[in-house]
Amino acid sequence: PGSAPPRGAPPMFTDRGPVAARAAAAGPSTRTHSPVPSDPATPGGSTTSITLNGTMTLAAGTFAAGTATTINVAGDWTNNGATFTPGAGTVVFNGAGAQNINGTTAAKTFNNLTVNKSGGTLTAGGSTTSITLNGTMTLTAGTFAAGTATTINVAGDWTNNGATFTPGAGTVVFN
């Protein structure tokens, strides 16, 4: 279980093995991953940016943002019972089509969250009832719909630079 990707292929988080060591040894500071971690996974070394061209699926275990200050997500963010430790970074949803924050875990926590979509809507769905931001919410482009999230907790600023927010029946709490 768990082996390094072929030379020249993007490194991948797998469900086994010392992911941080493989990611740190894989090369430059921007990497493309297809993570499905079920063992502890933490980017380290010079990793400052993670780019996901598809869905982030957290099945079990812990995924810590580590040294990654930016996690770009072009697909869905699906948490089915794992722990995401956001660190001090920003998760940027930047897919061209519909995206979802979903999964079986009711509460989703991020540090900073940015919506910067060229099309489609980012929607809270699945079992998501609350989204907690330890930092800021930035709406740059596209649409963010609260969907099934009845509460969005924001510890920092909420900045809308021209995007659309669809609150639904939920509440945004600034704390």
Which stretches within the chain are classed as H helix? Answer: 19-25
Q: Which residues of the chain have pLDDT under 50?
A: 1-39
Global pTM reads 0.78
For residue 165, what are the contacts with CB-CB under 8 A and spacing of at least 6?
A: 139, 143, 144, 145, 146
* 47 phi, psi to nearest 5 deg: -70, 115
Residue 68 CB neighbour total at 10 angstroms:
26
Tokens at 54, concatenated: 């598809």
Pairing mode, strands 171-174 and 151-154 = parallel
Question: Residue 44's pLDDT is what?
Answer: 62
Question: Residue 67's pLDDT is what?
Answer: 85
